[in-house]
Amino acid sequence: MRDETQRVYEHVLKTDPDQKEFQQAVYTFLQSIDKIIDELPEVSYHKILERMTEPERMIMFRVPWIDDSGRVQINRGYRIEMSSAIGPYKGGLRFHPSVNLSIMKFLAFEQVFKNSLTGLPMGGGKGGSDFNPKGKSDAEVMRFCQSFMTELCRHIGPDTDVPAGDIGVGGREIGYLFGQYKRIRNEFTGVLTGKGMDFGGSNIRPEATGYGLVYLSDAILRGKGMELNGKTCLVSGSGNVAQYTVEKLNALGAKVVTLSDSSGMIYDEAGITPEKLGYVMTLKNVKRGRIKEYAEKYNGVTYIPRNPDEPNPVWNIKADYAFPCATQNEILKADAENLVRNGVKLVGEGANMPCSVEAENILMGNGVLLAPAKAANAGGVAVSGLEMAQNSARMSWSRERVDQELQNIMNNIYRNISEAAETYSEKDNYVDGANIAGFMKVSRAMIAQGYV
Ligand code: NDP
């Protein structure tokens, strides 16, 4: 890296020595910006990179709640308000035991550039808690959400900061969070997105991240004279993003043969048909069961338990395309080597930062098309932006209209990242394309607004 970018990276290493995920996200980003930094003296002059890597505000708070046996439980809550350069802070809430400051900051950092790519006026933020909703009753989840929002509500608002869902935060949690916000503030506003359709939600919001991932991947493939129809796909995870990725892949004629959760994976050579996907949706969203049960229900399905010390078996199956939709760093060096050996031609990142730096280099070095998360999973926040627009206008748009808007946004993102890749890096380097295209707009807005 050049002196300028190296200095910024070293500063991050020194200031936040234990924040590995944040460091990784900054490193990948700076590697792309390194290619244009010499042509942008104003970026150095105004210390844009230094400011971008320092959150505007970090909020951490205690979340006390009472479990079903009457015991007091304590979790930690977070909201990272990373950048309001191009709009109110916007980004999801994650409830997962692994949540810490480093994970929150990496997610908030990436969100800034992702939101910029959508073309909508949204800044970047992220939040959540180390609370684990798994195995908790509805009443416990509600009490936790109410306590979490009791503090969070003083920091957010429809023109200030608009959270949404992420891992462990789906329709149920958003409903409880919204209810408590409304009760405390006595305001019915679009302060959260991903709301139920009966109280201000948008059509296609649950589907948006998965659908958008497939739309963008399809655009990349078509640009190369390739297609989804008739092709075999690997999908990891079995939550919101994975489910709607499978739905859209099926609709476009592809066959999906895997799904997973943190306990293990299923391999269904015959393909996860719409009927089987319906079973998965009930299993995961209503019964809150495990993916293992899929292998017990359907014949000819293999279940492989997860061993965190071994390569992830999802990426060790012959296929055309792969869609990581579970979590960060789920594709490491050995997994990337397996994907290359198995003939995978495209990796579409549904999850945020699913590839380690080494894995990314192996994939791209071997000609695998990489659709980076900042672009590929931007459909979720894009439709969240459309939900905000509908809330402000007190309107509700049809499924067809929102789906069309989503397709337009994903096609625009494809054009922008391809053009930026070709202009500033190499053709097909969508990682550089997304980082540079996302960066340019935020950087211009920051320069225009002075030192804030
Ligand atoms: P969900 O909670 O609905 O599903 C997450 C899935 O990933 C579950 O199957 C879960 O398994 C699995 N998973 C979670 N953590 C781990 C882990 N540490 N190791 C292995 N498997 C894990 O979340 P989403 O589908 O909403 O999110 C998935 C990814 O997509 C995340 O990276 C998120 O940041 C990203 N994303 C989500 C968006 C959205 O709109 N929801 C928007 C943009 C990105 P288990 O049930 O065992 O925990």
Longest Cα pair distance anywhere in the chain, in angstroms? Answer: 63
239 lines ligand 1 (CB under 6 A): yes
Residue 119 near residue 385, CB atoms below 8 Å: no
352 lines ligand 1 (CB under 6 A): yes
Per-residue pLDDT of the chain (452 residues; tens, 9 = 90+): 999 999 999 999 999 999 999 999 999 999 999 999 999 999 999 999 999 999 999 999 999 999 999 999 999 999 999 999 999 999 999 999 999 999 999 999 999 999 999 999 999 999 999 999 999 999 999 999 999 999 999 999 999 999 999 999 999 999 999 999 999 999 999 999 999 999 999 999 999 999 999 999 999 999 999 999 999 999 999 999 999 999 999 999 999 999 999 999 999 999 999 999 999 999 999 999 999 999 999 999 999 999 999 999 999 999 999 999 999 999 999 999 999 999 999 999 999 999 999 999 999 999 999 999 999 999 999 999 999 999 999 999 999 999 999 999 999 999 999 999 999 999 999 999 999 999 999 999 999 999 99
Residue 242 near residue 236, CB atoms below 8 Å: yes
262 lines ligand 1 (CB under 6 A): yes
132 Cα: distance to centroid of ligand 1 (angstroms): 13
167 Cα: distance to centroid of ligand 1 (angstroms): 4
Looking at the whole model, is its pTM more than 0.85?
Answer: yes
pLDDT for residue 345: 98
Q: Whose CA is nearest to atom 4 of ligand 1?
A: 239
pLDDT for residue 49: 98
Residue 178 neighbours by CB distance under 10 Å = 24
Pairing of strands 89-95, 72-83: unpaired
Active-site residue identified among 114, 126, 136, 248: 126
Residue 328 near residue 354, CB atoms below 8 Å: yes
Tokens linked to 140: 């416990």
Which of 78, 104, 130, 83 lies closest to 19, judged by CA?
104
Q: What is the distance between the alpha carbons of residues 44 and 388, in angstroms, rounded to a whole number? A: 34
Q: Whose CA is nearest to atom 47 of ligand 1?
A: 262
Which of 48, 54, 38, 56 lies closest to 1, judged by CA?
38
pLDDT for residue 189: 96
327 lines ligand 1 (CB under 6 A): yes
194 lines ligand 1 (CB under 6 A): no
User: Looking at residue 198, what DSSP letter applies?
Assistant: G
